[in-house]
């Protein structure tokens, strides 16, 4: 990194009243040809460009974004990093992603504020206990940790959880701790990657919307069309959660994806109250307290396909009343802000990462809230783009599985579903 970040550098620049800091990334002129174009300067797109440069030496790469870098779902999520999945296909991928996140601060010389605080799943019925028990054993095979804890232990570790007593409609019957789980600072992930890509020679072009994918006479991908002109590249990777089909349909390519809106909201900032991630799959919400003191709360997605970043009031009220059932003291806590994001969800609810029927055109999609998958998703997509072969961690997630109806049924992984 050209300009190292440290306490010492802060002191040094502080003496100059911080007028000597160099930009974290450049705004280079847009060329008309690159080796690879990555569409979407969100988490997955930036991570892909980072690993193209770092692992494969590909730096003649442009990341294009219709808005500002880091402005997609990475700017609006619940920053939960975890690997408590249920299938052989999924767990190793997420274990890798968690490990990459843990190393990211040092690797990128940018403080991700990675807080490995663990997640407690608060379980309120017996079928869900069975589901979690199943995960506990299979996760162990891949080195992910998941420990059963008692109701008393849950209440000791989350003192604000005073609801869900024995006579409650949904009593707390037990729980699991996922010690690998963490939260971090989402903007830092985007900015840290952007700075590292820039340092290695990659380019990020903001305010550069792709209006059309372009195919050559041989049927291969040839480039993209933008209001700033046509940009050519033999390989194009689409990492635009929610808008994947909007783009691929410009070359007549349909995919088994639907776009949904998932919303989260925060409370007013308060003094430290909860120092773990709390997930309540039966009640249907999850929350954590950010370093700013806000409780960051998520629930179910809105019904139906949606590109509208606003919560459905019924979904919102359901989530809030579920939360109040376990945290009744939050009645006088105040709701401060909310936001939504466009996710795409594949037909089997597992991600898709593959080269498409248009040679040279790659997609990474269907992450359904893919924040936790960013580093490993970028690593694997870079491998696929650079080598033409799927990364072993992503092999089960190709498009062809829908031709054989060989679904990866990994449901029940976010909240109540």
Partner 1 sequence: MMQIPCPFCGPRNESEFFYGGPVRPSRPDPAAVNDEDWTAWLTQVPNPLGPVQEHWWHARGCGTWLTIWRDTRTHDVVEAPDDAG
Partner 2 sequence: MTQVDRLATGGRIDRSQTLNFTFNGKGYTGFEGDTLASALLANGVRLTARSFKYHRPRGIVGAGVEEPSTLVELMGANASGNCPATTVRLSEGLVAKSVNCWPSLAFDIGALNQLASRFIPAGFYYKTFKWPNWHVYEGPIRKAAGLAAAPSEPPAKGHFESRFGHCDVLVAGAGPAGLMAALTAARAGLRVMIADEGTEAGGSLLSRKLTIGGAPALDWVAQTVAELAALPNVTHLQNATVWGYREHNYLMVTERAPTNPSLLERTWRVRAGHVITATGAIERGLVFGNNDRPGVMLASAVQTYVKRYGVAPGKRAVIFTNNSSAYAVAADLVAAGVKVVAIVDSRETVPEDARAQVPGIEVMAGKVVTEARGARHLRGVAVTAKTGGAARILSCDLLAVSGGWNPTVHLWSQSRSSLRYDAALATFLPDIPAQAISAAGAATGDLTLNDALRSGAEAAAHVAGCDTPDIPEAPDLPYAVDPLWRVETSTGKAFLDLQNDVTVDDVHLALREGYSNVEHVKRYTTGGMGIDQGKTGNLNIIGTVALAQGIGMDQVGTTTFRAPYTPVSFGAIGGLREDTVALPYRHTPITEWNLAQGAVMYESGARWRRPGYFPRAGEGLQEATNRECRAVRERVGVYDGSPLGTVELKGRDVGRFLDYLYTNVMSSLKPGRGRYGLMLSDDGLIMDDGVCFRLDAHRWIISTSTGHADAINGHLEEMLQTRFPDWNVFITPVTSQWNNATICGPKAREVMAALGTDIDLAPEAFPFMSVRDGVVAGLPARVVRVSFTGELSFEVNVAPRHMRALWAKVMEAGQPFGILPVGSEASHVLRVEKGFLSLGHEVDGTVDAHDLGMGWVMSKKKADHLGKRAVQIRRDGTGPRRELVGVIPEPDCQIPEGAPLTPGGGREETEGFVTACVWSVVQDRWVGLALLENGHARHGDTAHVRLKGGEVIPVRVTPPCHYDPDGAKLRS
Sign of the dihedral through C-alpha 44, 46, 47, 51 = positive
How many residues belong to the site for partner 2 (CB under 8 A)? 101
The 10 Å Cβ neighbour count of residue 405 is: 8
- Considering only residues 57 to 76 of the shown chain, the ones binding partner 2 according to CB under 8 A are 67-68, 70-71, 75
User: What is the C-alpha end-to-end distance of the chain, expressed in Å?
Assistant: 43
User: What distance in Å separates the CA atoms of residue 73 and residue 62, rounded to the nearest whole number?
Assistant: 20
Site string for partner 1, 341-380 (x = CB under 8 A): ---x--x---------------------------------
Q: State which residue, 329 or 387, has the beta carbon closest to partner 2.
A: 329
- Considering only residues 6 to 65 of the shown chain, the ones binding partner 1 according to CB under 8 A are none
Are 163 and 82 a contacting pair, CB within 8 Å?
Answer: no
Q: Which does 259 bind (CB under 5 to 8 A by kind): partner 2, partner 1, none?
A: partner 1
- Considering only residues 257 to 296 of the shown chain, the ones binding partner 2 according to CB under 8 A are 267-273, 289, 291-293
Q: Which does 258 bind (CB under 5 to 8 A by kind): partner 2, partner 1, none?
A: partner 1
Q: How far is the CB of 238 from partner 1 (least distance, A)?
A: 14
Site string for partner 2, 316-355 (x = CB under 8 A): xxx-xxxxxx--xxxxxxxxxxxx----------------
The DSSP H or E segment spanning 371 is none
305 interacts with partner 1 by CB under 8 A: yes
Nearest to 240 by CA among 39, 61, 15: 39
Q: Which does 32 bind (CB under 5 to 8 A by kind): partner 2, partner 1, none?
A: none
Q: How far is the CB of 255 from partner 1 (least distance, A)?
A: 7
Q: Which does 96 bind (CB under 5 to 8 A by kind): partner 1, partner 2, none?
A: none
Nearest to 379 by CA among 368, 394, 365, 369: 394
User: What distance in Å separates the CA atoms of residue 382 and residue 71, rounded to the nearest whole number?
Assistant: 21
Q: State which residue, 221 or 264, has the beta carbon closest to partner 2.
A: 264
Considering only residues 126, 307, 329, 337, which one is a binding residue for partner 1 as defined by CB under 8 A?
Answer: 307
254 interacts with partner 2 by CB under 8 A: no
234 interacts with partner 2 by CB under 8 A: no
User: What distance in Å separates the CA atoms of residue 363 and residue 355, rounded to the nearest whole number?
Assistant: 6
243 interacts with partner 1 by CB under 8 A: yes
Coil vs helix vs strand at 205: strand
Nearest to 124 by CA among 281, 321, 300, 299: 281
The DSSP H or E segment spanning 361 is strand 361-365
Count of residues in the chain: 417
User: What distance in Å separates the CA atoms of residue 88 and residue 158, rounded to the nearest whole number?
Assistant: 31
How many residues belong to the site for partner 1 (CB under 8 A)? 24
| Chain residues that interact with partner 1, rule: CB under 8 A | 243, 245-246, 254-259, 303-308, 312-314, 344, 347, 402-405
């Amino acid at each position: 990194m050209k300009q190292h970040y440290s306490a010492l550098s802060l002191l040094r620049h502080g003496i100059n009243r911080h007028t000597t800091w160099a930009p974290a990334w450049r705004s280079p002129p847009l060329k008309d040809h690159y080796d690879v174009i990555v569409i979407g300067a969100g988490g997955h797109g930036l991570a892909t460009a980072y690993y193209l440069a770092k692992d494969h030496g590909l730096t003649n790469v442009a990341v294009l974004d219709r808005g500002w870098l880091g402005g997609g779902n990475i700017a609006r999520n619940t920053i939960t990093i975890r690997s408590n999945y249920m299938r052989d296909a999924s767990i190793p991928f997420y274990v890798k992603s968690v490990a990459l996140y843990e190393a990211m601060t040092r690797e990128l010389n940018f403080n991700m504020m990675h807080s490995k605080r663990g997640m407690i799943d608060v379980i309120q019925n017996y079928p869900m206990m069975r589901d979690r028990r199943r995960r506990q054993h299979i996760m162990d095979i891949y080195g992910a940790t998941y420990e059963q804890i008692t109701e008393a232990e849950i209440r000791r570790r989350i003192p604000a959880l005073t609801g869900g007593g024995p006579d409650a409609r949904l009593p707390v019957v037990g729980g699991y701790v996922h010690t690998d789980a963490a939260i971090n600072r989402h903007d830092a992930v985007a900015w840290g990657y952007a700075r590292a890509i820039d340092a290695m020679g990659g380019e990020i072009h903001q305010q550069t919307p792709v209006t059309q994918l372009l195919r050559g006479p041989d049927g291969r991908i040839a480039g993209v069309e933008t209001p700033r002109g046509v940009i050519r590249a033999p390989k194009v990777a689409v990492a635009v959660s929610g808008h994947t089909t909007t783009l691929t349909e410009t070359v007549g390519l349909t995919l088994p994806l639907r776009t949904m809106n998932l919303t989260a909201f925060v409370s007013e900032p308060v003094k430290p109250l909860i120092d773990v991630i709390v997930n309540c799959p039966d009640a249907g919400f999850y929350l954590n307290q950010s370093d700013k003191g806000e409780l960051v709360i998520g629930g179910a997605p809105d019904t139906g396909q949606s590109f509208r970043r606003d919560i459905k009031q019924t979904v919102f009220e359901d989530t809030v009343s579920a939360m109040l059932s376990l945290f009744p003291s939050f009645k006088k806590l105040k709701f401060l802000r909310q936001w939504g994001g466009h996710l795409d969800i594949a037909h089997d609810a597992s991600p898709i990462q593959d080269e498409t029927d248009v040679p040279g055109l790659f997609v990474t999609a269907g992450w359904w809230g893919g924040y936790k998958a960013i580093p490993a998703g970028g690593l694997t997509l870079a491998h696929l783009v650079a080598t033409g072969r799927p990364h072993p961690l992503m092999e089960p997630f190709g498009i062809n599985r829908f031709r054989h109806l060989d679904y990866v049924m990994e449901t029940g992984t976010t909240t109540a579903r």
